[in-house]
Chain A
């Protein structure tokens, strides 16, 4: 029986960072979906029901905090864990992210294995 590859939704507006994340995810055997802003992220997150979402917080159109809140509040949301990925280092940033509903918080820049270990722990929890 083929092993199902988890699908990760990448919500990131910066092109280079988006490319790096996609390359990383593909290299490690994940399927990827992409959204360029928070509004798209909510739409894709509801429609595609990914297994995990990497959410940048500083997004155009709709910021990552609001997008997270909307996803979590949506009745059709599949319950995928959301990892906040951000370059903001203010003490309140992590608090705000978790308050919005993010399940983990990773500060940019990060090494591949740092992100992967967080993803593995969340995906392991959700099966």
Chain B
């Protein structure tokens, strides 16, 4: 039997109604025939037809009350019996009724299974032969009439076909059932997975929402703080200006004699007072600049522009700045006749120029300043403000206290060289601002001072940023082409590597210096003292090394990092270092020039000792004692021995000084 109750029910629902209507129709026809011409045979046949109709009704009722299995068990067998009964009452001569056995074969196969189709087929064939044996016209059972043979063959064919088809149908149904099961399982799994992922997503969204809310809150807080800070600073600047107005104003009126005549000395002193008050005013301006700087950090608008034209456009503001000085000064605008092209931020460039000039004006002692801009080499351009001595020659064009001469830009004039040596000087606020602004463009500031006091500030900027990179604090800056200014990840790695080397240097140097009876000093080639051993205790003298050792990760500005990297590089690569030692107080000190030594061995600790070396004539017992404290490797590194791996013999006997 077909096991699936749904399929069984479906099949019965297909057969049962049609079975009932067919039986009822046949009954109706037979009844009509009986009415017209009733015979005994017809009586019996009609009775069978009525029973068939009633059984059809029974099937329908049973199915209606969901007695599916009972219906299935009754359907085909009962029909087979009824059909056989119908054949019997018609004298076994109704071949047409026999054909109805095909109905029971097919229904048996469909409802009870393909095997039952064979059983019913055989039974039908049996009935056919039984009928043939019962018929009068059949003389002997072994002599089959053509009809019976044809009929039996037909039954057999139908049976086999029914068997094959039903079997295939059942297999298909089974496969479909299996597929449905598998799909259901997959769907259930998918539903579970979807539910799980949905839950994960919901969680993730919740976390994201929470984080977004937190970030938004933090951003709002930061913005509010920034806003409050800016408001405070703006208000502070405003209040300062209010007070300065009357201060400068009264002094100004005094100098003009509004309150009565003044002596020349009084006049001079009051003019100086105005200048100092102006300095105070510029402080408030610097406060505003610094807040603006903080607000615009990282927001660069790089365009191709002519810096000469950009600076020329500033002349009104420059004139105001000059006019505000009462002690009398002249600013020369030395701009080339033809401009040149750079890629930069126009507003930032103008800020730099203005702040450069204001910074110089503030502490000016000379009577003239020269502001110039020129290309330098193929990669940079320079904005320079120089203080000129009183002997400076005034050449047109100029910005003077009396007013600005309008006209085209003039040719470059030779500058008066004031000389001086390069030194890093502590910054005023204005120069600090300039450095910050210049740093945003990847440039640098050079400050020169001369013993007579004349100053020169030069801002060196790239013609165009060579590549974009991010600074360690995440600001977007344009590189100046200095190859030490790497991308922060690489820079960090390099710094970490150099820090490791530095530690090795320190360890090695301690190994050399500690316990040595004489004071020893190690300098780098710039004359910066790196390490000292005074009173037999080694100390790291160099502030750079101290800074680097303890605050390595706190270097934010790429230029500071570059400086640190350069120092370490020179130490690690054995570029000229001076090693100085001082004999005991009874003797004088002697300084021996250095020769760098490079070791072919790439061991980190030994490599950094490139910078450690000395040339001492090995003539005194003191010096020999010193070398006896060295391990053989160090001795080799210092040039007194050729380096050999794993050497263990005593080397001191063969020590000879290098040439």
Name A residues whose Cβ lies closer than 8 Å to a Cβ of B.
Answer: 14, 16-17, 19-21, 23-24, 27, 58, 87-90, 107-112, 114
The reply to whether B234 and A114 form a contact with Cβ atoms under 8 Å apart is no
Given known A111-B326, A114-B323, contact A27–B253 (CB-CB < 8 A)? yes
Known A24-B258, A89-B241; judge A14-B234 contact (CB<8 A). no
Chain A residues with Cβ below 8 Å from B284 are: 89
Tell me whether B321 is interfacial, beta carbon within 8 Å.
Answer: no
B237–A17 touching, CB < 8 Å: no
**Does A87 contact B245, Cβ atoms closer than 8 Å?**
yes
Question: What residues of B have a CB within 8 angstroms of the CB of A21 in the complex?
Answer: 249
- Which residues from B are CB-within-8-Å of A58? 238
Task: List 27 interface pairs A-B (beta carbons < 8 Å), by A numbering.
Answer: A14-B245, A14-B246, A16-B250, A17-B242, A17-B246, A27-B256, A58-B238, A87-B237, A87-B240, A87-B241, A89-B237, A89-B238, A89-B284, A90-B234, A107-B241, A108-B241, A108-B242, A109-B244, A109-B245, A109-B277, A109-B281, A110-B245, A110-B249, A111-B248, A111-B323, A111-B324, A114-B323
Contact B248 A109 (CB under 8 A): yes
Whether B249 pairs with A24 at a CB distance below 8 angstroms is: yes
In the bound complex, how far is the Cα of B258 from the Cα of A80, in angstroms?
Answer: 27
Interface string of B245-282 (1 = CB under 8 A from A): 11111101100101100000000000000100100010
Q: Which of A19, A88, A109, A110 counts the most chain B CB atoms within 10 A?
A: A109
With a cutoff of 8 Å between Cβ atoms, the chain B residues found around residue A27 in the complex are 253, 256, 258
Q: A110: which B residues are within 8 A, CB to CB?
A: 245, 248-249
CB <8 Å contact, B249 and A89: no
> In chain B between 144 and 181, which residues have their CB closer than 8 angstroms to a CB of chain A?
none
A14 to B242, CA, bound (A): 8
Alpha-carbon distance A21/B248, docked complex (angstroms): 12
Q: Which 6 A-B pairs have the closest CB atoms?
A: A87-B241, A20-B249, A16-B246, A108-B245, A109-B244, A109-B245
Chain A's nearest CB lies how many Å from the CB of B579? Answer: 56
Asked whether any CB of chain A lies closer than 8 Å to the CB of B285, the reply is yes
**A87-B239, A114-B323 known; A109 vs B234 contact (CB < 8 Å):** no
**Measured between C-beta atoms, what is the minimum distance from B254 to chain A in Å?**
10
Residues of B within 8 A of A14 (CB): 242, 245-246
| Beta-carbon nearest neighbor of A111 in chain B | B252
Does chain A have a CB within 8 A of B288? yes
A60 to chain B: closest CB distance in Å? 13
Residues of B within 8 A of A88 (CB): 234, 238
A-B contact sample (10 more), CB < 8 A, given A16-B250, A23-B258: A17-B245, A17-B246, A21-B249, A23-B259, A24-B253, A27-B256, A107-B241, A109-B248, A109-B277, A111-B274
Q: Find out whether the CB atom of A89 lies under 8 angstroms from the CB atom of B288.
A: yes
Per the bound structure, the CA–CA distance linking A35 and B144 in Å amounts to 143
Give residues of chain B (210-260) contacting chain A, Cβ–Cβ below 8 Å.
234, 237-242, 244-250, 252-253, 256, 258-259
Residues on the A chain within 8 Å of B259, using CB: 23
Contacts of B240 in A (CB 8 A): 87
How far apart are A20's CB and chain B's nearest CB, in angstroms? 4
User: Which residue of the partner chain, among A23, A90, A107, A114, contacts B253 with CB atoms under 8 Å?
Assistant: A23
Interface centre among A17, A87, A110 (most CB of B within 10 A): A87
Q: A111-B324, A112-B256, A114-B323 are in contact. Are A20 and B238 (CB under 8 A)?
A: no
Using CB atoms, name the residue of chain B closest to A19.
Answer: B246
Name the A residues within 8 Å of B326 (CB-CB): 111
Chain B neighbourhood of A19, CB < 8 A = 246
CB distance from A18 to the nearest CB of B (A): 9
The distance from the CB of A121 to the nearest CB of chain B, in whole angstroms, is 14
Most buried by A among B248, B277, B326: B248
In the complex, per-residue mask of B324-346: 1 if CB is within 8 Å of any chain A CB, else 0: 10100000000000000000000
**Closest A residue to B285 using CB positions:** A89
Q: Which of A87, A90, A107, A112 contacts B252 (CB 8 A)?
A: A112
CB distance from B614 to the nearest CB of A (A): 60
**How many angstroms between the C-alpha atoms of A89 and B256 in the bound complex?**
27
Among B234, B245, B253, B281, the most chain A Cβ lie within 10 Å of the Cβ of B245
- For A89, what are the chain B residues with a Cβ–Cβ distance below 8 Å? 234, 237-238, 241, 284-285, 288
Known: A23-B258, A114-B323. A109 touches B237 (CB 8 A): no
B152 to chain A, nearest CB (A): 112
Nearest B residue (CB) for A27: B258
Chain B residue, CB-CB nearest to A115 = B249
Given A89-B234, A89-B288, A111-B324, CB of A17 within 8 Å of CB of B249: yes
| Chain A residues within an 8 Å CB radius of B277 | 109
Closest to A20 in B: B249
State A108–B284 Cα separation when bound (angstroms).
11
CB distance from B612 to the nearest CB of A (A): 56
Q: Measured between alpha carbons, how far is A16 from B247 in the docked complex, in Å?
A: 9
Chain B residue at smallest Cβ distance from A28: B258
* Chain B residue with the shortest CB-CB distance to A85: B245
Given known pairs A87-B239, A89-B288, A114-B323, the reply for A108 and B244 (CB within 8 Å) is yes
CB distance from B299 to the nearest CB of A (A): 15
B466–chain A nearest beta-carbon distance, Å: 33
Across the interface, which residues of B come within 8 angstroms of A108, CB to CB? 241-242, 244-245
Could you tell me the distance in whole angstroms from the C-beta of B197 to the nearest C-beta in chain A?
Answer: 52
B250's closest neighbor in chain A, by CB? A20
Residue of B whose beta carbon sits closest to that of A57: B238
B279: min CB distance to chain A, Å: 12
Bound Cα distance from A26 to B252, whole angstroms: 14
Residues of B within 8 A of A114 (CB): 323
Q: How far is the CB of B461 from chain A (nearest CB, A)?
A: 25
Q: Which chain B residue has the least Cβ–Cβ distance from A15? A: B246
Whole-angstrom distance between the alpha carbons of A53 and B47 in the complex? 130
In the complex, which residue of chain B has the Cβ closest to the Cβ of A112? B252
The smallest beta-carbon distance between B294 and chain A, in angstroms, is 15
A72→B247 CA distance, assembly (Å): 32
CA distance A88 to B238 in the complex (A): 5
Task: State whether A20 touches B246 (Cβ < 8 A).
Answer: yes
Residues B238 and A109 in contact, CB atoms below 8 Å apart: no
How far apart are B347's CB and chain A's nearest CB, in angstroms?
Answer: 11
Instruction: Give the CA-CA distance A77 to B285 in the complex, in Å.
Output: 36
